[in-house]
A and B are shown apart, each in its own frame.
Chain A
Amino acid sequence: MAKVTYIQPDGTPRTCVNFEGMTVMHLAVGNLVDGIDANCGGMMQCGTCHVYIASEWADRVGPPSSDERAMLEGLEGVEVRPTSRLSCQIQLGEELDGLVIEVPTEQPGI
């Protein structure tokens, strides 16, 4: 099991449980978590599933791949931080049980 807590843009937390083959993005979208758009459906092409990993989890989640980093660096109109990730690129596993994700107030427009 991996329980993930999303801090939604209005500050309210939502905790969701994954036992399917989901990424951090799928789990949020399937549970109607506010603020993650995922317009491209998880193809690392739109940047609208951008999230911040809580700092205590950043090491465990790991850094973005070079393609994902390029995508993150190209995002406009949003604040990209060292803990930024595209949530569609984080496949959930047991080691991420307890993960805390901060959802940004804005996603990039396309």
Chain B
Amino acid sequence: MSTATLPPIDGGTPVLGHLLPFFRDPVSVLRQGYQSRGKLFSFNILGRTMNVMLGPEHNRFFFEETDKLLSIRESMPFFLKMFSPDFYSFAEMDEYLRQRAVIMPRFKAAAMKQYVGVMVEESLNLVNRLGSEGEFDLIPTLGPVVMDIAAHSFMGKEFHEKLGHEFFELFREFSGGMEFVLPLWLPTPKMVKSQRAKRKLHAILQGWIEKRRAAPLDPPDFFQGMIESKYPDGRPIPDELIRHLILLLVWAGHETTAGQVSWALADILQNADYETVLRDELRLVLGGDDGSSLGWEQAVAMQKMDLALRETERLHPVAFILSRKASTDIEREGYTIRKGDFVLLAPSVTHRMTETWIEPDRYNPERFNAERVDAQIESNSLVGFGGGVHRCAGVNFARMEMKIILAVLLQNYEMELLDEVRPIAGAGTYWPAQPCRVRYRKRARNSEAGASVAELATAAGCPVNH
């Protein structure tokens, strides 16, 4: 076996390694690695070797070897602190599988039908709050809508109505516990706040679990279903676990989607040509409706919007690195990755490699249109939601809600960006920096009707099932 490590990048100091530059601007460090060393390189943080792999073939290797040569369980220590050692991918394998069996059926593409109504309702609530004209800042405006949708979908309507945005603030603090760089025992202000917010959130949720037990909702919503659900072997699920599961769903669904939908709107508003394409599609599907008639069939028929969302996922992947730990020494193209080293994928760099993409920095949703002969659709090239067995369980939910928020906003408003769009500094989730303001004004809508369900199904290439 070769003893050569992946080519290390320049810079870094003896003890800290590349900690400081990574802390300030992780994507620049990763991009520098690609430019100077190619698809395989390494850097160092506090003595830990970070091995980075780029491009579709290495992505595939990473996905195929997770739970084999690569371990996900030890690769995200912050997760352990935000949740619990007995929870989800940190639990023993049998327990993890039981927990996944509770979650997965609720997130299949076909299960999305039940959430579309909530997504439309909360998006229209935003329109009500915004009124006929004004300015809004992307993240502070769309973030709470995403949270409203998650809270309403997973914890019930009344929960979300009573707690309002206090819950959103607690969650922001809880999310601060997502620490990629610093050691977790450091009592940094954001870690202390995160742990305090976690305790408060658990206390609030427990109160709601007890309320719902005393007075069950009929017909049951998602939250009632979780409270009453049992493991496949018939045992009831402990309350603590229900609390963790709900927090995980709301956290994972909010942290990433808030950023992704903000990027998506910013991208659309910076590309007038494609905005026109999307508006034409919306006119076809929704007619002059404000979005109230938007249902599952309409959402599925918005294929141009699908392409736009994928292009934003490519250009601005909010999960800009995916991490695993090597379970054993691994040989890759003549180099060796040592057991215990970190192995990273970097969607932020992979998604802009000239080997894979034509004009990678240009916004061009049609590159993903599989009907075009020049489509850029190599397998394992678009990995914003991860891949393989641990691919994001909420991908269908996230894509559906982004579609609906964007459709409702575009249908109701003319919008323009007031600030330059740039990513936040630092090693957090890759959101657009604030302020990133949008000026909006209600647009005139005509009274024409959208396409019928049968027409939509034909347009989407699906036979209508009766």
Chain A positions within 8 Å of B, measured between CB atoms, are: 1-3, 12, 17-23, 26, 29-32, 38-46, 88, 91-94, 96, 110
Contact = CB atoms under 8 A, between A and B. Distances in A.
Which 9 residue pairs spanning A and B have beta carbons closest together?
Answer: A21-B387, A19-B377, A41-B104, A42-B389, A17-B370, A1-B377, A21-B383, A2-B379, A20-B382
Interface string B132-165: 0000000000000000000000000000000000
A20 B97 contact: no
B101 interface: yes
Given A12-B463, A19-B378, A38 B385 contact: no
A20 to B, nearest CB: 5
A108 to B, nearest CB: 13
B338 interface: no
B396 interface: yes
Which of B377, B379, B381 lies at the interface centre, i.e. has the most chain A CB atoms within 10 A of its CB?
Answer: B379
B378 A1 contact: yes
Given A30-B109, A42-B389, A42-B391, A92 B104 contact: no
A18 B396 CA distance: 15
A91 B382 contact: no
Given A1-B370, A45-B97, 6 more contacts: A3-B370, A21-B60, A22-B379, A30-B395, A40-B101, A93-B380
Contact of A19 (B100, B382, B463): B382
Contacts of A32: 109-110
A57 to B, nearest CB: 16
Could you tell me the dominant secondary structure of chain A's interface residues?
Answer: loop
Nearest to B463: A12
B387 to A, nearest CB: 2
A54 to B, nearest CB: 19
Contacts of B63: 21, 91
Given A12-B463, A92-B379, A23 B388 contact: yes
Nearest to B380: A21
A41 B96 CA distance: 11
B232 interface: yes
B368 interface: yes
Contacts of A46: 101
Contact of B64 (A19, A29, A42, A91): A91
26 contacts: A1-B379, A12-B463, A17-B370, A18-B377, A20-B383, A21-B386, A22-B379, A23-B388, A23-B389, A26-B391, A30-B395, A32-B109, A32-B110, A38-B108, A39-B104, A40-B100, A41-B103, A41-B389, A42-B388, A43-B96, A43-B100, A44-B389, A88-B389, A91-B60, A91-B64, A93-B379
Nearest to B396: A30
Contacts of B377: 1, 17-19
A71 B381 CA distance: 30
Which of B59, B60, B380, B386 lies at the interface centre, i.e. has the most chain A CB atoms within 10 A of its CB?
Answer: B380
B124 interface: no
B321 interface: no
B60 A93 contact: yes
Contacts of A30: 109, 395-396
Contacts of B426: none
B147 to A, nearest CB: 24
A43 B97 contact: yes
A42 to B, nearest CB: 4
B266 interface: no
A45 B95 CA distance: 12
A38 B59 CA distance: 23
